[in-house]
Amino acid sequence: MENKILGIHHVTAIAGNAKRNLDFYTQVLGMRLVKKTVNFDDPNTYHFYYGNYAGQPGTILTFFPWEGITLGRRGSGQATETAFAVPEGSLDFWLKRLEARNVIFNNPAQKFGQDYLTFLDPDGLKLELVAVPESKLITPYETGDINGKVALGGFHHVTLTLNRIKPTVAVLELLGYTLQQQEVNRYRYVLEGNPNAGIIDLVEAAGEQRGHVAGGSVHHIAFRVKNQAAQLEFQEAIAKKGFNITPVLDRNYFTSIYFREPGGVLFEIATDDPGFAVDESLETLGEALKLPAQYEVNREQIAATLPKLS
């Protein structure tokens, strides 16, 4: 295939209280809110996009915050861990920061020879920070108390927990992934050239109970392609393998196609273009409420219904 998957574009998860989610990711983790919009299918619910300053693909964690939603359950058929890359030597900073803010965390450990720190967000979403060399970071977003020597530098990997990995491996191979390493029942798949934000880990857990996607769960993983021509090439290849894949959907900041891999995880393939600066300047990303065109006529009503953030 001439066109290639370039890594992880974004990860989308489900949260509960919108303000609590916003405060945690901007004030505790130091991510930038790069887009404040609404769910295309439920315009009375926010859709938050967090990332680095420019909102580069590979840094974007997004949330649908549904007030009062029940908590999900981690298990098989899910993306169970979302890991960010941080600079080597920064885990002590993050340990102290998480402890001071009463965040639930585990002591650092090692995975594939790399130091990492596991913690939970306020809804129970399982996150990790993996210490990597500077060359493996996407340009971090710096805040007043989180500088570039410790700040998040894009995704490191996402872990899928599955009862059987073989059918999912076939899909990853179609997307250009190859097995790099194995530790017990964890298999690390990487893209050719090992681009940043390019790793998918598979954990094979034959007896694991099926997970339930709700609050504190990953909704889907999106993989990057350069443009819609590349996206259409993958759409055709995936359909030829017998998967039910959607038409191209316009998400304003990228176009998307979706399919469910055999283990049950929802995959998306999203374009890099046009990006988050298409409807507001780079300097003001995330400040205004942006609505899909079909909802502009109801802006006043939608804005009144959305949860208050201040």
Element of type H or E holding 65: strand 60-65
**CA-to-CA distance for 182 and 169, rounded, in angstroms?**
13
Pairing of strands 199-204, 218-225: unpaired
pLDDT of residue 45: 96
User: Could you list the pLDDT tens digit for every one of the 310 residues in the chain?
Assistant: 678 999 999 999 999 999 999 999 999 999 999 999 999 999 999 999 999 999 999 999 999 999 999 999 999 999 999 999 999 999 999 999 999 999 999 999 999 999 999 999 999 999 999 999 999 999 999 999 999 999 999 999 999 999 999 999 999 999 999 999 999 999 999 998 888 999 999 999 999 999 999 999 999 999 999 999 999 999 999 999 999 999 999 999 999 999 999 999 999 999 999 999 999 999 999 999 999 999 999 999 999 999 999 8
Q: What is the pLDDT of residue 303?
A: 95
Amino acid at 90: S
Cβ proximity of 15 and 45 under 8 Å: no
Q: Which of 203, 89, 86, 216 is nearest to 151 (CA)?
A: 86
Asked whether the beta carbons of 278 and 293 are under 8 A apart, the reply is: no
Cα-based distances in Å from 298 to 36, 43, 87, 304, 307: 16, 10, 44, 10, 16
**CB of 58 closer than 8 Å to CB of 196:** yes
Q: What is the pLDDT of residue 1?
A: 62
Distances (CA, A) of 30 to 6, 25, 129: 25, 6, 13
Task: Quote the longest CA-to-CA distance of the chain.
Answer: 55
Between β-strands 186-191 and 199-204, what pairing exists: parallel, antiparallel or unpaired? antiparallel
Question: pLDDT value at position 79?
Answer: 98
Total residues found in the chain within this entry: 310
Distance CA 301, CA 310 (A): 18
Q: So what's the pLDDT on residue 61?
A: 98
Instruction: Measure the CA–CA gap between 46 and 33, rounded to whole angstroms.
Output: 12
Q: Please say whether the beta carbons of 154 and 204 come within 8 A.
A: no
What residues does each domain of the chain span? 8-305
Location of structure tokens 């990853």:
172
Per-residue tokens: 6? 């370039």
> Which CATH fold topology does 8-305 show?
2,3-Dihydroxybiphenyl 1,2-Dioxygenase; domain 1 (3.10.180)
Distance CA 111, CA 114 (A): 5
3-state secondary structure of 263: coil
CA distance 48 to 43: 12
At 115, the amino acid letter reads D
pLDDT of residue 126: 98
Q: Are 261 and 220 in contact (CB under 8 A)?
A: no
Give CB contacts under 8 A, 24+ apart, made by 178-182.
181/112
What number of other Cβ atoms are within 10 A of residue 14's Cβ?
21
